[in-house]
Structures are given as structure tokens and as C-alpha cells.
Homo-oligomer: A and B are copies of this chain.
């Protein structure tokens, strides 16, 4: 009579431990033993849920992306146009401790990805998804006439992506500088620059 274990739940517990360790000590210190200890599990149990360490890391990165992606979608559910875009962006920026932790994870993975084809693929996939999400919202806003004529959807998308990455790093490395107020101001400056008169009226003052 096999013990019933919810594999996905257990995997999530382990990935939670991965986040805690990385958030606290950095990827360099995220050894399998440290992860297992943090999860309150034995050494060997990781092998039951992940094929190897790269799998753990890749799963962690993927789940982190999924979490952020879901939150972004949920946040904008009942909103449209530039307002929806702004709401989504507010979810993507490191505005509170939880999201600063997520940004820490992300920054830690950047360096890892530069040495691992698997991780870089995941990063690319995620980037595509983020890009598509933002691009879709921008197109929708454009169709609603909230963007100024001649606005380049791709360029705006790229500006937002750069803003997320740049602010993520700043928030992680120099938390004192990247205050929420300043982050929102920067976001609004970008949006304002691209918005039509109608779009500006939709956005908060």
C-alpha cells in the first residue's frame, strides 16, 4: 500500500525552499543539500521529484515565471486599455517585499542562464510570453485610441520590458534608490509619453 503523496504539492514545497535559499543567500549557496534542509527533507528525496539539479533550477525558474504571469493576468481581468496595461505593469515591478524577492530570484537566475542552455531557453520562453502579454495590451489600447498616433507598439513594449528588468536589478541591488514611488513615476512617464489625449484621461492623475 503505497503512501499517497501529492507529487505536485511536494515539488512546490521544494521549490519554495529553493526560493527561500536563493533569496537569502544567493544561487551560489543553493546546493541540493541546503535546499533539502530548508525544505525539511532528506537529501535523497529530491531525486524522487526532480531528475537532477538543473531540473530543480529550471522548474524553479519556470514556476516563478508562471506565478508572476498568473498574477499579472488576474490583476487586469476586469480592466481594459492603458489602465489594464498599467495594472499589469504594477504587478511586474518590484514594488513590495514579495516581488523584490521574486526579482532577487530572477537576477540570480540571469547569471546562471548565461552558462546553461536549458535556463536560457526558459528565459527566452518567458520573455516571449511577457512580450506577448504586454504587446497584446498595447495593441488593445491602440485600438481603443488610447495611444497617440504614430506610436510604435513594438518600441513601447520594449521600453516596458527594459523598465521591468532595469528596475528589478535596481530594487535588488540598491533597494533604497528604487522606491515604489519612483518606480511608479517612471512607469507613468513612459505611459504618458505614448498615450493619446484619451489615453491620458483614462490613466490616473
Stoichiometry, as copies per complex, reads 4
Which of the 9-residue segments A84-92, A119-127, A136-144 touches chain B? A119-127
In-complex Cβ contact of A166 among B109, B124, B166, B173 (8 A): B166
Which of the 9-residue segments A11-19, A65-73, A182-190, A196-204 touches chain B? A182-190
Query: Are A155 and B185 in contact, CB atoms less than 8 angstroms apart?
Result: yes
Query: Are B110 and A107 in contact, CB atoms less than 8 angstroms apart?
Result: yes
Whether, in the assembled complex, A118 has its beta carbon less than 8 Å from a beta carbon of chain B, the answer is no
Query: Are A127 and B182 in contact, CB atoms less than 8 angstroms apart?
Result: no
Query: Are B163 and A112 in contact, CB atoms less than 8 angstroms apart?
Result: no
Query: Are B120 and A114 in contact, CB atoms less than 8 angstroms apart?
Result: no
Query: Are B162 and A114 in contact, CB atoms less than 8 angstroms apart?
Result: no
Whether, in the assembled complex, A79 has its beta carbon less than 8 Å from a beta carbon of chain B, the answer is no
In the complex, 15 of the A-B residue pairs with CB atoms within 8 angstroms, ordered by the A residue number, are A26-B111, A26-B114, A26-B115, A28-B116, A108-B114, A109-B111, A110-B111, A123-B173, A124-B173, A155-B182, A161-B166, A165-B169, A166-B166, A166-B167, A169-B169
Q: List the interface of chain A (C-beta within 8 A of B).
A: 25-29, 104, 107-116, 120, 123-124, 127, 155, 158-159, 161-167, 169-170, 172-174, 177-178, 182, 185-186, 189, 193
